[in-house]
Amino acid sequence: MSARGSAHDHALHRLRALVDELGAGGGAITPAVYDTARTAALLPHRPRTGEMLHWLTTRQQPDGGWGDPLTPHARDLPTLAAVLALTPHPAHRPATEDGIAFLHRHAAQVWNGPVPQDIPVGLELLLPPLLAEARTAHPTLPTAPYDALRVLGKRRRQLIAQGAPHAAGTAAVHSWEGWGRATPPLPLDGSGGVGHSPAATATALHHLERQAPAAHHLGRQAPADTLRTYLARATANRPPLLPTVWPIDVFERTWALHALALAGLLDHPHLATSCARQLDVLQAAYTPAGLGMSEHFMPDGDITATASLTLALAGRPSDPAVVERFRHDDHYRTYPGELQPSLTTTAHALHARTHADPAGPTGPAHRFLRERQDADGRWSGDKWHTSWIYTTAQVMFALPAGTAARRGAEALLGAQRPDGGWGAHHRATAGETGYAVLALLTHRTPGTAPALARAAHWLARWQESGGVCDCHLWTGKETYCPQRIDRVVAHAAFLAAARSSRTRPAVPTPTDPAREATFRR
Protein backbone atom coordinates (compact mmCIF):
# COMPACT_ATOMS: atom_id res chain seq x y z
CA MET A 1 0.00 0.00 0.00
CA SER A 2 1.32 3.50 -0.84
CA ALA A 3 2.24 6.01 1.85
CA ARG A 4 -0.68 8.14 0.74
CA GLY A 5 -3.05 5.22 0.94
CA SER A 6 -1.73 4.32 4.38
CA ALA A 7 -2.30 7.90 5.64
CA HIS A 8 -5.80 7.84 4.19
CA ASP A 9 -6.65 4.54 5.87
CA HIS A 10 -5.14 5.71 9.15
CA ALA A 11 -7.29 8.84 9.09
CA LEU A 12 -10.44 6.78 8.53
CA HIS A 13 -9.63 4.35 11.32
CA ARG A 14 -8.77 7.14 13.76
CA LEU A 15 -11.91 9.05 12.81
CA ARG A 16 -14.13 6.07 13.42
CA ALA A 17 -12.55 5.48 16.82
CA LEU A 18 -12.91 9.16 17.71
CA VAL A 19 -16.54 9.28 16.61
CA ASP A 20 -17.27 6.24 18.76
CA GLU A 21 -15.65 8.01 21.73
CA LEU A 22 -17.55 11.31 21.39
CA GLY A 23 -19.06 12.34 24.71
CA ALA A 24 -17.28 9.61 26.68
CA GLY A 25 -16.13 10.70 30.12
CA GLY A 26 -17.96 13.99 29.73
CA GLY A 27 -15.65 15.02 26.88
CA ALA A 28 -11.88 15.29 26.43
CA ILE A 29 -10.38 18.63 27.48
CA THR A 30 -6.95 19.85 28.54
CA PRO A 31 -6.28 20.67 32.20
CA ALA A 32 -6.54 24.29 33.38
CA VAL A 33 -4.14 26.28 35.54
CA TYR A 34 -6.91 28.38 37.11
CA ASP A 35 -9.20 25.54 38.16
CA THR A 36 -6.37 23.29 39.27
CA ALA A 37 -4.80 26.13 41.28
CA ARG A 38 -8.06 27.15 42.93
CA THR A 39 -8.78 23.55 43.92
CA ALA A 40 -5.26 23.13 45.34
CA ALA A 41 -5.52 26.41 47.27
CA LEU A 42 -9.05 25.93 48.62
CA LEU A 43 -8.87 22.18 49.31
CA PRO A 44 -5.21 21.62 50.29
CA HIS A 45 -6.03 18.42 52.19
CA ARG A 46 -7.14 16.60 49.04
CA PRO A 47 -4.98 13.70 47.89
CA ARG A 48 -2.27 14.51 45.34
CA THR A 49 -2.29 18.25 46.01
CA GLY A 50 1.50 18.16 45.87
CA GLU A 51 1.30 16.84 42.31
CA MET A 52 -1.06 19.66 41.40
CA LEU A 53 1.35 22.26 42.77
CA HIS A 54 4.29 20.70 40.95
CA TRP A 55 2.32 20.71 37.70
CA LEU A 56 1.56 24.39 38.19
CA THR A 57 5.27 25.16 38.35
CA THR A 58 5.83 23.27 35.09
CA ARG A 59 3.26 25.50 33.37
CA GLN A 60 4.94 28.77 34.37
CA GLN A 61 6.26 30.70 31.38
CA PRO A 62 9.83 32.07 31.20
CA ASP A 63 8.50 35.59 31.85
CA GLY A 64 7.09 34.47 35.21
CA GLY A 65 3.41 34.40 34.27
CA TRP A 66 1.03 31.63 33.42
CA GLY A 67 -0.91 31.35 30.17
CA ASP A 68 0.13 31.87 26.57
CA PRO A 69 1.99 35.17 26.02
CA LEU A 70 0.15 35.54 22.70
CA THR A 71 -3.22 35.76 24.51
CA PRO A 72 -2.30 38.44 27.06
CA HIS A 73 -5.77 39.13 28.46
CA ALA A 74 -6.11 35.45 29.37
CA ARG A 75 -3.01 35.44 31.60
CA ASP A 76 -3.96 37.42 34.70
CA LEU A 77 -6.51 34.98 36.12
CA PRO A 78 -4.38 31.81 35.94
CA THR A 79 -1.33 33.73 37.17
CA LEU A 80 -3.15 35.09 40.22
CA ALA A 81 -4.63 31.67 40.97
CA ALA A 82 -1.23 29.97 40.68
CA VAL A 83 0.42 32.57 42.91
CA LEU A 84 -2.26 32.05 45.57
CA ALA A 85 -1.88 28.27 45.43
CA LEU A 86 1.91 28.37 45.66
CA THR A 87 2.29 31.17 48.24
CA PRO A 88 1.88 28.97 51.39
CA HIS A 89 4.66 26.62 50.24
CA PRO A 90 8.24 27.85 50.81
CA ALA A 91 9.63 25.38 48.30
CA HIS A 92 7.75 27.24 45.58
CA ARG A 93 8.77 30.75 46.67
CA PRO A 94 10.85 31.46 43.52
CA ALA A 95 7.87 30.66 41.27
CA THR A 96 5.62 32.82 43.45
CA GLU A 97 7.98 35.79 43.34
CA ASP A 98 8.38 35.50 39.58
CA GLY A 99 4.59 35.45 39.21
CA ILE A 100 4.19 38.61 41.28
CA ALA A 101 6.90 40.39 39.30
CA PHE A 102 5.16 39.37 36.08
CA LEU A 103 1.83 40.83 37.22
CA HIS A 104 3.47 44.16 38.04
CA ARG A 105 4.84 44.42 34.49
CA HIS A 106 1.92 42.84 32.69
CA ALA A 107 -1.00 44.75 34.21
CA ALA A 108 0.32 48.16 33.17
CA GLN A 109 1.19 46.95 29.66
CA VAL A 110 -2.06 45.13 28.86
CA TRP A 111 -4.95 46.63 30.81
CA ASN A 112 -4.59 50.38 30.38
CA GLY A 113 -7.47 50.88 27.96
CA PRO A 114 -10.98 49.68 27.12
CA VAL A 115 -11.87 46.09 27.93
CA PRO A 116 -11.69 44.07 24.69
CA GLN A 117 -14.57 41.96 23.37
CA ASP A 118 -12.70 38.66 23.61
CA ILE A 119 -11.77 38.50 27.31
CA PRO A 120 -12.02 35.09 28.99
CA VAL A 121 -15.37 33.89 30.30
CA GLY A 122 -16.41 35.63 33.51
CA LEU A 123 -13.11 37.49 33.88
CA GLU A 124 -14.84 40.68 35.01
CA LEU A 125 -16.48 38.69 37.82
CA LEU A 126 -13.52 36.53 38.81
CA LEU A 127 -10.41 38.69 38.64
CA PRO A 128 -11.36 41.56 41.05
CA PRO A 129 -12.13 39.33 44.07
CA LEU A 130 -9.17 37.07 43.31
CA LEU A 131 -6.91 40.12 43.17
CA ALA A 132 -8.28 41.34 46.50
CA GLU A 133 -7.57 37.91 48.00
CA ALA A 134 -4.04 37.89 46.61
CA ARG A 135 -3.32 41.37 47.96
CA THR A 136 -3.76 40.14 51.53
CA ALA A 137 -0.49 38.23 51.10
CA HIS A 138 1.04 40.44 48.42
CA PRO A 139 -0.19 44.00 49.11
CA THR A 140 1.88 45.62 46.36
CA LEU A 141 -0.01 43.88 43.55
CA PRO A 142 -1.36 46.53 41.14
CA THR A 143 -5.05 47.39 41.01
CA ALA A 144 -5.41 50.59 38.96
CA PRO A 145 -4.84 48.99 35.53
CA TYR A 146 -7.91 46.80 36.13
CA ASP A 147 -10.29 49.71 36.78
CA ALA A 148 -12.18 49.32 33.48
CA LEU A 149 -12.54 45.58 34.08
CA ARG A 150 -13.79 46.29 37.59
CA VAL A 151 -16.44 48.66 36.19
CA LEU A 152 -17.57 45.96 33.77
CA GLY A 153 -17.70 43.50 36.66
CA LYS A 154 -19.88 45.85 38.66
CA ARG A 155 -22.29 46.09 35.76
CA ARG A 156 -22.32 42.31 35.43
CA ARG A 157 -23.05 41.85 39.13
CA GLN A 158 -25.96 44.25 38.85
CA LEU A 159 -27.39 42.17 36.01
CA ILE A 160 -26.87 38.99 38.04
CA ALA A 161 -28.63 40.55 41.02
CA GLN A 162 -31.55 41.62 38.83
CA GLY A 163 -31.94 38.08 37.51
CA ALA A 164 -31.63 36.34 40.87
CA PRO A 165 -32.20 33.66 41.90
CA HIS A 166 -30.22 31.80 39.26
CA ALA A 167 -31.05 28.18 38.62
CA ALA A 168 -28.40 25.50 38.63
CA GLY A 169 -26.73 24.91 35.30
CA THR A 170 -27.09 28.48 34.05
CA ALA A 171 -24.48 30.79 32.57
CA ALA A 172 -24.23 33.06 35.62
CA VAL A 173 -23.62 30.07 37.90
CA HIS A 174 -20.63 29.01 35.80
CA SER A 175 -18.77 31.93 37.44
CA TRP A 176 -20.46 31.44 40.83
CA GLU A 177 -17.15 31.55 42.70
CA GLY A 178 -16.91 35.24 41.78
CA TRP A 179 -20.28 36.34 43.13
CA GLY A 180 -22.13 33.53 44.92
CA ARG A 181 -22.71 32.87 48.59
CA ALA A 182 -22.39 29.51 50.31
CA THR A 183 -25.88 29.61 51.74
CA PRO A 184 -28.18 26.67 51.09
CA PRO A 185 -29.38 25.55 48.75
CA LEU A 186 -26.24 25.49 46.61
CA PRO A 187 -26.88 25.59 42.84
CA LEU A 188 -25.83 22.00 42.16
CA ASP A 189 -26.79 20.77 38.70
CA GLY A 190 -27.19 17.25 37.38
CA SER A 191 -23.43 16.87 36.88
CA GLY A 192 -23.00 17.07 40.65
CA GLY A 193 -21.05 20.33 40.46
CA VAL A 194 -21.69 24.05 40.47
CA GLY A 195 -22.09 25.58 37.03
CA HIS A 196 -20.02 22.90 35.26
CA SER A 197 -17.04 24.67 36.81
CA PRO A 198 -14.41 22.85 38.87
CA ALA A 199 -13.30 26.18 40.39
CA ALA A 200 -16.85 27.09 41.42
CA THR A 201 -17.38 23.57 42.76
CA ALA A 202 -14.13 23.68 44.76
CA THR A 203 -15.19 27.05 46.18
CA ALA A 204 -18.56 25.68 47.28
CA LEU A 205 -16.92 22.63 48.88
CA HIS A 206 -14.39 24.86 50.65
CA HIS A 207 -17.22 26.86 52.21
CA LEU A 208 -19.07 23.73 53.30
CA GLU A 209 -15.98 22.20 54.88
CA ARG A 210 -15.22 25.42 56.77
CA GLN A 211 -18.68 25.18 58.32
CA ALA A 212 -18.01 21.70 59.74
CA PRO A 213 -18.83 20.15 62.19
CA ALA A 214 -22.17 21.92 61.84
CA ALA A 215 -22.44 20.49 58.32
CA HIS A 216 -23.92 17.20 59.46
CA HIS A 217 -26.47 18.94 61.65
CA LEU A 218 -27.47 21.30 58.83
CA GLY A 219 -27.80 18.47 56.34
CA ARG A 220 -24.87 19.64 54.22
CA GLN A 221 -22.76 16.49 54.21
CA ALA A 222 -24.65 15.02 51.26
CA PRO A 223 -24.01 18.09 49.07
CA ALA A 224 -20.34 18.01 50.12
CA ASP A 225 -20.05 14.38 49.05
CA THR A 226 -21.72 15.23 45.74
CA LEU A 227 -19.22 18.04 45.14
CA ARG A 228 -16.30 15.75 45.93
CA THR A 229 -17.61 13.17 43.49
CA TYR A 230 -17.92 15.82 40.78
CA LEU A 231 -14.30 16.92 41.25
CA ALA A 232 -13.11 13.32 41.10
CA ARG A 233 -15.04 12.69 37.88
CA ALA A 234 -13.84 15.94 36.32
CA THR A 235 -10.21 14.82 36.70
CA ALA A 236 -10.83 11.55 34.87
CA ASN A 237 -9.02 12.60 31.68
CA ARG A 238 -5.82 13.58 33.49
CA PRO A 239 -5.93 13.12 37.28
CA PRO A 240 -5.46 14.97 39.54
CA LEU A 241 -5.67 18.06 37.28
CA LEU A 242 -8.94 19.93 36.64
CA PRO A 243 -10.26 21.34 33.33
CA THR A 244 -11.79 24.78 32.88
CA VAL A 245 -15.25 23.32 32.29
CA TRP A 246 -16.82 19.87 32.61
CA PRO A 247 -18.81 18.05 31.29
CA ILE A 248 -18.92 19.13 27.64
CA ASP A 249 -20.26 15.97 25.99
CA VAL A 250 -22.99 17.69 23.92
CA PHE A 251 -20.61 20.42 22.79
CA GLU A 252 -17.99 17.85 21.83
CA ARG A 253 -20.45 15.71 19.90
CA THR A 254 -21.93 18.72 18.09
CA TRP A 255 -18.67 20.29 16.93
CA ALA A 256 -17.15 16.99 15.81
CA LEU A 257 -20.22 16.02 13.78
CA HIS A 258 -20.37 19.55 12.36
CA ALA A 259 -16.82 19.16 11.00
CA LEU A 260 -17.63 15.75 9.53
CA ALA A 261 -20.71 17.20 7.86
CA LEU A 262 -18.70 20.05 6.33
CA ALA A 263 -16.16 17.50 5.07
CA GLY A 264 -18.91 15.39 3.52
CA LEU A 265 -18.01 12.36 5.62
CA LEU A 266 -21.12 11.63 7.70
CA ASP A 267 -22.26 8.96 5.27
CA HIS A 268 -18.85 7.59 4.33
CA PRO A 269 -19.14 3.76 4.38
CA HIS A 270 -16.38 3.43 6.95
CA LEU A 271 -17.94 6.04 9.26
CA ALA A 272 -21.67 6.01 8.57
CA THR A 273 -22.72 3.60 11.33
CA SER A 274 -20.73 5.41 14.01
CA CYS A 275 -21.90 8.81 12.81
CA ALA A 276 -25.52 7.70 12.70
CA ARG A 277 -25.31 6.49 16.29
CA GLN A 278 -23.95 9.85 17.45
CA LEU A 279 -26.46 11.76 15.36
CA ASP A 280 -29.22 9.74 17.05
CA VAL A 281 -27.95 10.91 20.44
CA LEU A 282 -27.72 14.51 19.27
CA GLN A 283 -31.19 14.45 17.75
CA ALA A 284 -32.70 12.96 20.89
CA ALA A 285 -31.12 15.74 22.96
CA TYR A 286 -32.39 18.55 20.72
CA THR A 287 -35.29 20.23 22.51
CA PRO A 288 -37.66 23.11 21.73
CA ALA A 289 -35.46 25.21 24.02
CA GLY A 290 -32.25 24.22 22.24
CA LEU A 291 -29.08 22.55 23.51
CA GLY A 292 -26.37 23.33 26.05
CA MET A 293 -22.85 22.02 26.56
CA SER A 294 -24.33 19.02 28.37
CA GLU A 295 -27.82 17.82 29.24
CA HIS A 296 -27.40 19.50 32.64
CA PHE A 297 -26.55 23.00 31.38
CA MET A 298 -28.84 25.66 29.96
CA PRO A 299 -29.25 25.88 26.15
CA ASP A 300 -27.09 28.39 24.35
CA GLY A 301 -27.33 29.95 20.93
CA ASP A 302 -24.02 28.64 19.64
CA ILE A 303 -24.51 24.94 20.39
CA THR A 304 -28.19 25.11 19.42
CA ALA A 305 -27.43 26.69 16.04
CA THR A 306 -24.54 24.34 15.28
CA ALA A 307 -26.55 21.27 16.27
CA SER A 308 -29.52 22.42 14.19
CA LEU A 309 -27.26 22.95 11.18
CA THR A 310 -25.46 19.64 11.64
CA LEU A 311 -28.70 17.68 11.85
CA ALA A 312 -29.98 19.47 8.74
CA LEU A 313 -26.77 18.76 6.83
CA ALA A 314 -27.21 15.10 7.80
CA GLY A 315 -30.72 15.14 6.33
CA ARG A 316 -32.37 14.88 9.72
CA PRO A 317 -35.22 16.99 11.05
CA SER A 318 -34.33 19.98 13.21
CA ASP A 319 -36.49 22.98 13.86
CA PRO A 320 -34.54 26.09 12.76
CA ALA A 321 -37.10 28.25 14.57
CA VAL A 322 -35.44 27.18 17.83
CA VAL A 323 -32.33 29.08 16.74
CA GLU A 324 -34.36 32.28 16.40
CA ARG A 325 -34.89 32.29 20.16
CA PHE A 326 -31.33 33.58 20.43
CA ARG A 327 -31.63 36.47 17.98
CA HIS A 328 -30.86 39.88 19.46
CA ASP A 329 -31.04 42.96 17.26
CA ASP A 330 -28.63 42.33 14.36
CA HIS A 331 -26.84 39.27 15.80
CA TYR A 332 -27.40 36.08 17.79
CA ARG A 333 -26.58 35.70 21.47
CA THR A 334 -24.86 32.77 23.04
CA TYR A 335 -26.54 33.43 26.39
CA PRO A 336 -29.20 35.94 27.47
CA GLY A 337 -27.78 39.20 28.74
CA GLU A 338 -24.27 38.77 27.38
CA LEU A 339 -22.35 42.01 27.01
CA GLN A 340 -19.89 40.93 24.29
CA PRO A 341 -21.48 39.52 21.10
CA SER A 342 -19.91 36.56 19.35
CA LEU A 343 -19.06 36.48 15.65
CA THR A 344 -19.03 32.70 15.54
CA THR A 345 -22.36 32.26 17.33
CA THR A 346 -23.92 34.61 14.80
CA ALA A 347 -22.21 32.77 11.94
CA HIS A 348 -23.49 29.37 13.09
CA ALA A 349 -27.02 30.73 13.52
CA LEU A 350 -26.95 32.41 10.12
CA HIS A 351 -25.68 29.24 8.45
CA ALA A 352 -28.47 27.21 10.06
CA ARG A 353 -31.02 29.76 8.89
CA THR A 354 -29.79 30.03 5.29
CA HIS A 355 -29.48 26.26 4.97
CA ALA A 356 -33.11 25.93 5.99
CA ASP A 357 -34.18 28.73 3.62
CA PRO A 358 -31.54 29.44 0.93
CA ALA A 359 -33.83 31.94 -0.79
CA GLY A 360 -34.56 33.86 2.39
CA PRO A 361 -33.53 37.45 2.98
CA THR A 362 -29.92 38.17 3.90
CA GLY A 363 -30.98 40.47 6.70
CA PRO A 364 -29.06 42.16 9.51
CA ALA A 365 -27.03 39.10 10.55
CA HIS A 366 -25.28 39.11 7.18
CA ARG A 367 -24.51 42.78 7.60
CA PHE A 368 -23.30 42.20 11.15
CA LEU A 369 -20.71 39.73 9.86
CA ARG A 370 -19.70 41.68 6.77
CA GLU A 371 -19.24 44.92 8.69
CA ARG A 372 -16.92 43.20 11.16
CA GLN A 373 -14.54 41.90 8.55
CA ASP A 374 -11.06 43.33 9.09
CA ALA A 375 -9.31 45.37 6.41
CA ASP A 376 -7.06 42.41 5.60
CA GLY A 377 -10.04 40.08 4.96
CA ARG A 378 -9.93 38.29 8.30
CA TRP A 379 -12.52 38.02 11.04
CA SER A 380 -10.97 38.20 14.49
CA GLY A 381 -11.63 38.94 18.14
CA ASP A 382 -14.26 36.31 18.85
CA LYS A 383 -15.05 35.54 22.48
CA TRP A 384 -14.95 31.74 22.14
CA HIS A 385 -11.69 31.19 20.25
CA THR A 386 -8.40 33.06 20.15
CA SER A 387 -7.51 32.19 16.56
CA TRP A 388 -8.66 34.43 13.71
CA ILE A 389 -8.32 31.35 11.47
CA TYR A 390 -11.09 29.55 13.34
CA THR A 391 -13.28 32.67 13.42
CA THR A 392 -12.73 33.40 9.73
CA ALA A 393 -13.55 29.82 8.80
CA GLN A 394 -16.82 29.81 10.78
CA VAL A 395 -17.95 33.05 9.13
CA MET A 396 -16.99 31.78 5.69
CA PHE A 397 -19.12 28.66 6.18
CA ALA A 398 -22.12 30.92 6.73
CA LEU A 399 -21.61 33.45 3.93
CA PRO A 400 -22.74 33.07 0.32
CA ALA A 401 -20.26 33.48 -2.51
CA GLY A 402 -19.29 37.12 -2.85
CA THR A 403 -16.71 39.72 -2.02
CA ALA A 404 -16.56 39.10 1.75
CA ALA A 405 -16.11 35.35 1.40
CA ARG A 406 -13.52 35.80 -1.37
CA ARG A 407 -11.51 38.21 0.77
CA GLY A 408 -11.68 35.74 3.66
CA ALA A 409 -10.38 32.96 1.41
CA GLU A 410 -7.56 35.19 0.17
CA ALA A 411 -6.62 35.98 3.77
CA LEU A 412 -6.42 32.28 4.57
CA LEU A 413 -4.38 31.51 1.45
CA GLY A 414 -1.97 34.31 2.30
CA ALA A 415 -1.53 33.02 5.85
CA GLN A 416 -0.60 29.44 4.94
CA ARG A 417 2.81 28.67 6.36
CA PRO A 418 5.68 27.37 4.25
CA ASP A 419 5.24 23.93 5.83
CA GLY A 420 1.61 23.77 4.57
CA GLY A 421 -0.16 24.30 7.89
CA TRP A 422 -2.02 27.21 9.45
CA GLY A 423 -1.50 28.79 12.86
CA ALA A 424 -2.44 32.21 14.17
CA HIS A 425 0.23 32.16 16.86
CA HIS A 426 3.70 30.64 17.09
CA ARG A 427 3.16 27.50 15.00
CA ALA A 428 0.77 25.63 12.79
CA THR A 429 -1.81 23.54 14.64
CA ALA A 430 -3.97 20.64 13.52
CA GLY A 431 -7.27 22.27 14.46
CA GLU A 432 -6.53 25.56 12.71
CA THR A 433 -5.19 23.79 9.63
CA GLY A 434 -8.30 21.63 9.53
CA TYR A 435 -10.69 24.54 9.73
CA ALA A 436 -8.73 26.52 7.11
CA VAL A 437 -8.99 23.56 4.72
CA LEU A 438 -12.74 23.18 5.25
CA ALA A 439 -13.26 26.92 4.70
CA LEU A 440 -11.24 26.92 1.47
CA LEU A 441 -13.24 23.96 0.23
CA THR A 442 -16.39 25.98 0.90
CA HIS A 443 -15.18 29.02 -1.06
CA ARG A 444 -12.64 28.13 -3.72
CA THR A 445 -10.48 30.86 -5.24
CA PRO A 446 -7.42 30.80 -7.51
CA GLY A 447 -4.61 29.15 -5.61
CA THR A 448 -6.85 26.88 -3.57
CA ALA A 449 -5.78 23.59 -5.17
CA PRO A 450 -2.03 23.85 -4.46
CA ALA A 451 -2.77 25.15 -0.96
CA LEU A 452 -4.95 22.12 -0.25
CA ALA A 453 -2.24 19.79 -1.54
CA ARG A 454 0.31 21.36 0.82
CA ALA A 455 -2.19 21.18 3.68
CA ALA A 456 -2.83 17.49 3.00
CA HIS A 457 0.90 16.79 3.30
CA TRP A 458 1.10 18.78 6.55
CA LEU A 459 -1.84 16.88 8.02
CA ALA A 460 -0.36 13.56 6.89
CA ARG A 461 2.85 14.40 8.74
CA TRP A 462 0.81 15.40 11.80
CA GLN A 463 -0.91 12.01 11.72
CA GLU A 464 2.43 10.22 11.41
CA SER A 465 3.75 12.08 14.44
CA GLY A 466 0.93 10.74 16.63
CA GLY A 467 -1.95 13.11 15.91
CA VAL A 468 -1.83 14.94 19.24
CA CYS A 469 -3.86 18.10 19.87
CA ASP A 470 -2.86 20.12 22.90
CA CYS A 471 -2.99 23.74 21.70
CA HIS A 472 -4.90 26.09 23.98
CA LEU A 473 -6.85 28.23 21.53
CA TRP A 474 -10.46 27.90 22.68
CA THR A 475 -11.62 30.39 25.31
CA GLY A 476 -13.22 29.57 28.64
CA LYS A 477 -12.11 31.07 31.93
CA GLU A 478 -8.72 30.44 30.39
CA THR A 479 -7.68 29.05 27.03
CA TYR A 480 -8.04 25.30 26.52
CA CYS A 481 -8.23 22.58 23.90
CA PRO A 482 -11.24 20.25 23.39
CA GLN A 483 -8.95 17.54 22.12
CA ARG A 484 -11.38 15.18 20.40
CA ILE A 485 -12.94 18.06 18.48
CA ASP A 486 -9.63 19.32 17.11
CA ARG A 487 -8.51 15.81 16.20
CA VAL A 488 -11.76 15.06 14.35
CA VAL A 489 -11.46 18.37 12.46
CA ALA A 490 -7.87 17.60 11.45
CA HIS A 491 -8.47 14.02 10.29
CA ALA A 492 -11.65 15.00 8.43
CA ALA A 493 -9.89 17.91 6.72
CA PHE A 494 -7.01 15.66 5.68
CA LEU A 495 -9.42 13.33 3.90
CA ALA A 496 -11.26 16.22 2.27
CA ALA A 497 -8.06 17.99 1.21
CA ALA A 498 -6.46 14.84 -0.13
CA ARG A 499 -9.57 14.00 -2.10
CA SER A 500 -9.91 17.51 -3.48
CA SER A 501 -6.28 18.01 -4.39
CA ARG A 502 -6.07 14.53 -5.96
CA THR A 503 -3.00 13.62 -3.98
CA ARG A 504 -4.51 10.12 -3.75
CA PRO A 505 -7.49 8.30 -5.26
CA ALA A 506 -10.89 9.65 -4.30
CA VAL A 507 -12.46 8.66 -1.02
CA PRO A 508 -14.33 5.39 -1.71
CA THR A 509 -18.08 5.49 -2.08
CA PRO A 510 -20.70 2.76 -1.79
CA THR A 511 -20.46 2.30 -5.60
CA ASP A 512 -16.71 1.57 -5.42
CA PRO A 513 -16.66 -1.91 -3.79
CA ALA A 514 -13.09 -2.78 -4.73
CA ARG A 515 -11.59 0.13 -2.89
CA GLU A 516 -14.09 -0.03 -0.02
CA ALA A 517 -12.89 -3.55 0.77
CA THR A 518 -9.54 -2.14 1.89
CA PHE A 519 -11.23 -0.25 4.75
CA ARG A 520 -12.87 -3.36 6.20
CA ARG A 521 -9.59 -5.10 6.91
Over residues 331-357, the pLDDT tens digits come to 999 998 887 889 999 999 999 999 988
* pLDDT of res. 182: 79
CB proximity list for 190: less than 8 A, separation 6 or greater: 168, 169, 295, 296
The larger pLDDT score, comparing residue 227 to residue 470, is at 227
Looking at CATH, the fold of the domain delimited by 3-26+248-520 is given as Glycosyltransferase (1.50.10)
Residue 521 has pLDDT above 90, yes or no: no
> Which residues, listed in sequence order, are joined to residue 31 by a DSSP beta bridge?
243
Neighbours of 449 (CB within 10 A): 12
Residue 219 has pLDDT above 90, yes or no: no
Q: What is the 3-state secondary structure (H, E, C) of 147-177?
A: HHHHHHHHHHHHHHHHHCCCCCCCHHHHCHH
Residue 402 Rama label (left phi>0; alpha psi -120 to 50; beta) = left
* pLDDT of res. 322: 96
Over residues 295-330, the pLDDT tens digits come to 999 999 999 999 999 999 999 998 889 999 999 999
Cβ-contact 71, 119 below 8 angstroms? no
Residue 359 has pLDDT above 70, yes or no: no
Q: Is 33-234 in the same CATH topology as 3-26+248-520?
A: yes
Q: What is the mean pLDDT of the chain?
A: 91
pTM of the model: 0.92
> Which residues, listed in sequence order, are joined to residue 331 by a DSSP beta bridge?
328
* pLDDT of res. 214: 54
* CA–CA distance, 42 with 383 (Å, rounded to integer): 28
Cβ-contact 475, 242 below 8 angstroms? no
Of 59-63, 84-88, 509-513, least confident by mean pLDDT is 509-513
* pLDDT of res. 112: 84
What is the arithmetic mean of pLDDT over 357-364?
72
CATH number, domain 33-234: 1.50.10.160
- At residue 115 the predicted structure's pLDDT band, cuts being 50, 70 and 90, is very high
Residue 453 has pLDDT above 50, yes or no: yes
Domain boundaries, the chain: 3-26+248-520, 33-234
Cβ-contact 110, 67 below 8 angstroms? no
H-helix or E-strand containing 7?
helix 3-21
